[in-house]
Amino acid sequence: MSFKAAAIQMCSGVDPVRNAADMARLVRDAAGQGAAYVQTPEMTGALQKDRAALRAVLRDEASDIVARTASDLAKELGIHVHVGSTAIALEDGKIANRGFLFGPNGALLARYDKIHMFDVDLDNGESWRESAAYTPGSQARVVSLPFAEMGFSICYDVRFPQLFQAQAVAGAEVMTVPAAFTRQTGEAHWEILLRARAIENGMFVIAAAQAGVHEDGRETFGHSMIIDPWGKVLASAGGTGEAVVTADIDLAAVKAARGKIPNLRNARDFSLEKVEAPATGGVAA
């Protein structure tokens, strides 16, 4: 089984209507290149540091313009459209960082809320507290599509290999990692983490990213990419601006990689003991 996948790179601003229009243009471009599955980045709908301003433009899931536009595109183009994520208003006043997968008839096939919150303190004073505004998800899922078993993650989730392994063990052949990686962390870790998750699970990884300097002042790393189960980068974009990267996904490569190195099957349960070394009372000669 094989199919063509596309990862769309965007530089989303603060206006969901404009971002939805940009997404539609890029999705049509990807479909024109033959993609049967198209993924957009994390926070496709809006990147906005100001939490009050963000809440002012948010809608619930039923009214969200990005989700509605993606559903319409999937039906119009006869493809699978995956909104990597967009901010969705919840009834309790908090926000969900939520991804949506729509099928060729426009129907919602799956939703996924980002599980791991980006609460970090980086160099040069860069600090983020995603948990202050967002409600974390608690449900991982693998979706059986006509062309692949697909697992889900969003951005910071990529640093938690247990999430990927659990989905691989459940049958996932393709893992999705839409993201808005900061430039600082992206330069250090983006490609390394993505290739590691692909290699250790023998799966394809598709990662659509935000790229460039955004209206709210943040800078994201870009370099959207598609990686095969052996860790080879099949397609990659640059670090700024819009892009559409595509690759042919041949699931025989999953079986081949897992056959050569069956680490998922060879994994063993184990116990862990922490041992306190006794003080020697002196310095060894």
What positions carry a catalytic annotation? 42, 114, 155
- Is the alpha carbon torsion for 8, 238, 88, 167 positive or negative? positive
Exposure letters 18-55 (e unless 16+ CB within 10 A, then b) = ebbebbbebbebbbeeebbbbbbbbbbbbbbeeeeebe
Residue 142: both structure tokens together: 């693998």
Which helix or strand (DSSP H or E) is residue 247 part of?
strand 243-250
Of 146, 158, 145, 149, residue with least CA distance to 191? 158
User: What number of CA atoms fall less than 13 Å from residue 281's CA on the CB side?
Assistant: 0
Going by their DSSP bridges, the two strands 95-102 and 127-129 should be labelled as: unpaired
